Amino acid sequence: MSDTAAFYTAFGVAVDPDSHHRTDHLCAQLEFVALLLVKLARAKSENNAEAVWVTEDALGKFNRDHVMEWLPSFISRLASCAPHPFYMSAADLLWSVWERLWEQPKTAAFEDVRTPETDPGTPYECDMV
């Protein structure tokens, strides 16, 4: 989690301590990626080559080192554990967006799906449960 927090800090982002979310929570990570995409769009519109490079580098590293560690497994579990059409559509939409952003085929990403380790002292939290 400290590496995730370091990414956030480097871009001036902090997880609100009152949110009851861990820094590596799904919502926090996806919101951070969204922020980086906005920063990237702004850097490109301003023709700021250095900011474009820094942001693209951060997006690639954050995706590879953090998000892709759990995203394929999460999407697969969401689709299989919640057979309601809404959740199946949400899983498909999330993967479609990610696939387009990173141009990574679904089959390649699902080859090495790992189950996230759980910390018995701090269970995964989600306001949706």
Q: What average pLDDT does the segment 67-82 reach?
A: 79
Q: What is the pTM of this model?
A: 0.68
Please check the confidence at residue 56 and state whether its pLDDT lies above 80. yes
Q: Which of 74, 59, 62, 61 is nearest to 109 (CA)?
A: 74
The model's confidence at residue 103, banded by pLDDT at 50, 70 and 90, is: low
Contact 60, 36 (CB under 8 A): no
Which has the minimum average pLDDT: 8-12, 74-78, 90-94, 120-124? Answer: 120-124
Domain ranges of the chain: 2-10+24-110
